[in-house]
Structure 1
Amino acid sequence: MTSLPDDSLLDDAARLGEADPDGLLRAVARAGAQVRATAEAAAEAGIDRVAGSRPRALVLICRPGISPAVCDVLAALVGPACPVPLVVADRAPVWVGALDVVIAHTDDAGDTVLAESIDRACRRGATVVLTAPADGPVAAAAAGAAVHIAPRVPVPPGFSFAAAFTAGLLTLAALGLLRIDTDALADELDREAERCHVQHETFVNPAKSLALRVAEHVPLLWGLDPVATGVARHAAQVLSTHTDLPCDVAEYQQAASRTALHRAAVRGSAGRDIFADPDDFDGPAAISPRTVLLAVRSAPGDPVRRQAAEVLPTVEVLAPGQELGVPEPIGAAVLALRWELAALYLGLAAGTAGGTGRYAPATA
């Protein structure tokens, strides 16, 4: 059974501060600072070495943590129109060589699998862009051979999405595969952090209101486009890090093929039965799903979005980037940050994040 949140805590800044002695909310709110610091570090590390090249293949290495979601979003932003083969793998392929570009991220300085992959790619002459801690086996493997972007804004492990995403965007931009304005990205993330500031009450705070919408439910995080589905994967990661809510993540058309779960979503979107007995339930199995549709690239009139609207007419589409009128990479980053803050607010309210709750052993 999932932990029940204390709703009143969300609108009590003092109690939230007590529940968050490690300053996790402050760490998440530093996403804009991570973007600026990563852009500076990338320039100093020599990201311009990537510029102008047309690689044989672009390899995204995803390791445990936030890396798989970052890879998904980057791959979706480039899309099927990418002029070079794009490979997503958990280690450097055996064929990697001098004509390839490799992008990798980890928060684990001792990730031996990644260290071996970086060493292989560098020895074979591949261009490697790595975001990882400054010390440890991974950094040693990259020393003198890779564009190693070490973090300059200290955040706990698992809070580095903005840094990893920025490094990937800068690499893709250097290759001419997309455009990114890191100043605009950082500024919009700062504005999102302000919109979701701990002092703002739930009814005007997008992250707190999102937290309450998924509380005590099983979130069905369904993307209306590939970029949004990548962000949904990140949302599931942070919800699983800070809360004990199980999640389902899928692109909407894939979700529609999961007939039983999709029927439950349709029933849930029809609204609550006002004649139902609130005490008539069968325990944890009665926890209802809560569908959240995410959009970054999909716009009103898009066939998938139209299909979802016809079947789930009361389900809100979460698309802050489109509401703000920002480019897709910035919209994806804003959506990711909102989920990070929502997951953390929900975890603090439920006692599954912050304080001793996050590290306490399970009790019978």
Structure 2
Amino acid sequence: MLDESLLDAPEALARADRRELLRGAAEAGARVRTAARHAAEAGIDELKPEGRPRAVLIAGPGTAATGVADLVTALAGASAPVTRLHPTGVAPAAGALRWALPGWAGSVDLLLIATTDGSEPGLALLAEQAYRRGCTVVAVAPQRSPLSEAVDGVHGLVVPMATAPYELYDETQAAASPGALWALFTPLLALLDRVGLLAAPPDVLQNVADRLDHMAERCGPAIATYSNPAKTLAAELADTLPLIWTEGTAAPVGRRFAAVLAELAGLPALTAELPEALSAHGVLLAGEFAAGADPDDFFRDRVEEPQALRARVLLMRDRIDGGLTAAPAARELALSHDTAISELEPEEGSELETLAELLAVTDFAAGYLALTTGSHA
């Protein structure tokens, strides 16, 4: 159950936030600036690529790396195929994940490794395998980690991950934090801009950081729930089964939100893209998760019973100018089944700025849900 009194108690939220989730969300803009500086210092701005890579391969464990791969696919997938590598198994002796390149990978392909840990031996072996195949290798990893030492100057280029002191307690837990996402994502944006797969020059990254700062002001703990979009969203999604329906480039944000809700707040959520979401999730609005579903006697005593889980739709979309949209059909379907609906639509800006706004609101909302539902230890 959501403790609504805690939402508007900034000091109590700070005491409960032992893993600094809200602080990480608030400092996302600063993390972008630091990560961009690390990328420049690593020499990304001075690269002179001979052409676009044939394909981009992305490897890395954890929520942050998965989110980065999804975002890169959405942004650069039209310029070159983007393939997310998954572990092929676990080494029996050390229990470490094993990674492998696809058989076709070679000298015209780019391998990106993103990790908040850097001690995974499987990733170092993957970088060595890519080096032998002639692939270009770029890794974003904590400084002085085994992976960065294995790759730097021999097998490829390393950009030190922009870390915060309060994340040093456990990088595996930090992998779901907003700061970790931007620390890994920003250098890769700078690199992919340099090789011509997307547009993310320094001024665009600065605008992204400014948008994240703006959202931190709107969504911070000191802002009351009634005027705070993240607190409002957290209150609306508590004790529900969120059905996250996305449109446009908001799809990777929806998938990350579902993953972070599960990992941080223990809240299951389902996500799908419009218009397919209407058929994929429509049955849930008419089944046992429907707002009015109750198969038993209406008049029985429910005092000792747990609250039933009901679906709530979250419609998340970027700004669509003059294009076709399934949003009206989504609203009509939800309301026709008496299902509550929440909506997130960013303010005007570049594609990266609108993604940053959606990520900021959802990351803050996940933090508030984790802190106010008792699932954040």
TM (norm. structure 2) is: 0.82
Would the aligned equivalents of 2:127 and 2:151 in 1 still touch at CA under 8 Å?
A: yes
The separation in 2 between residues aligned to 1:300 and 1:242, in whole angstroms, is 37
Deviation at residue 36 of structure 1 after TM alignment: 0.6
Deviation at residue 30 of structure 1 after TM alignment: 1.1
The separation in 1 between residues aligned to 2:320 and 2:60, in whole angstroms, is 25
Deviation at residue 297 of structure 1 after TM alignment: 5.5
Look up the SS of the partner of 2:275 in the other structure: helix
Question: Match of 2:171?
Answer: none
Would the aligned equivalents of 1:132 and 1:151 in 2 still touch at CA under 8 Å?
A: yes
Look up the SS of the partner of 1:286 in the other structure: coil
The separation in 2 between residues aligned to 1:277 and 1:51, in whole angstroms, is 71
Look up the SS of the partner of 2:134 in the other structure: coil
Identity %: 34
Question: Match of 1:112?
Answer: 121
2:20 to 18, 23, 34: 23
Task: Call closer, same or farther: CA 1:285–1:200 in 2, change over 3 Å.
Answer: closer
Matched, 1:40 2:50: no
Q: Which amino acid aligns with 1:59?
A: L
The separation in 1 between residues aligned to 2:283 and 2:332, in whole angstroms, is 18
Matched, 1:132 2:141: yes
Deviation at residue 277 of structure 1 after TM alignment: 6.8
For residues 7-66 of structure 1, the C-alpha deviation after alignment (integer angstroms, 9 at most, x for no partner) is: 101101121122124433212211111111111111111214264522122222242222
Question: Match of 1:317?
Answer: 343
Look up the SS of the partner of 1:193 in the other structure: helix
Question: Match of 1:219?
Answer: 242
Matched, 1:59 2:61: no
Task: Call closer, same or farther: CA 1:348–1:279 in 2, change over 3 Å.
Answer: farther
Question: Match of 1:85?
Answer: 81
Task: Call closer, same or farther: CA 1:119–1:50 in 2, change over 3 Å.
Answer: farther
For residues 152-204 of structure 1, the C-alpha deviation after alignment (integer angstroms, 9 at most, x for no partner) is: 33163222111222122212211222212111111111111111111111111
Task: Call closer, same or farther: CA 1:172–1:281 in 2, change over 3 Å.
Answer: farther
1:179 to 195, 199, 210: 199
Matched, 1:238 2:260: yes
1:150 to 153, 160, 168: 160
Would the aligned equivalents of 2:285 and 2:311 in 1 still touch at CA under 8 Å?
A: no
Look up the SS of the partner of 2:245 in the other structure: strand
Unaligned runs of 5+ in 1: 358-364
Q: Which amino acid aligns with 1:212?
A: A
Look up the SS of the partner of 1:221 in the other structure: strand
Count matched residues: 341
Question: Match of 1:360?
Answer: none
For residues 282-324 of structure 1, the C-alpha deviation after alignment (integer angstroms, 9 at most, x for no partner) is: 955821011101112645752333432342356343112xxx2
For residues 199-234 of structure 1, the C-alpha deviation after alignment (integer angstroms, 9 at most, x for no partner) is: 111111111111101011111112112x21211111
Task: Call closer, same or farther: CA 1:106–1:207 in 2, change over 3 Å.
Answer: same
Q: Which amino acid aligns with 2:66?
A: P
Question: Match of 1:100?
Answer: 109
Would the aligned equivalents of 2:284 and 2:290 in 1 still touch at CA under 8 Å?
A: no
Task: Call closer, same or farther: CA 1:113–1:252 in 2, change over 3 Å.
Answer: farther
The separation in 1 between residues aligned to 2:22 and 2:329, in whole angstroms, is 37
Look up the SS of the partner of 2:326 in the other structure: helix
Would the aligned equivalents of 1:57 and 1:86 in 2 still touch at CA under 8 Å?
A: yes
Matched, 1:338 2:344: no
TM (norm. structure 1) is: 0.84
Look up the SS of the partner of 1:199 in the other structure: coil
1:205 to 197, 218, 228: 228
Deviation at residue 98 of structure 1 after TM alignment: 2.0
Would the aligned equivalents of 2:243 and 2:313 in 1 still touch at CA under 8 Å?
A: yes
Unaligned runs of 5+ in 2: 87-98, 168-173
For residues 79-137 of structure 1, the C-alpha deviation after alignment (integer angstroms, 9 at most, x for no partner) is: 4x32x333222243243222111222111222233222222223333222221112333
Range moving further from structure 2, 285-294 or 258-267: 258-267
The separation in 2 between residues aligned to 1:99 and 1:296, in whole angstroms, is 33
1:76 to 74, 80, 83: 74
The separation in 1 between residues aligned to 2:237 and 2:111, in whole angstroms, is 37
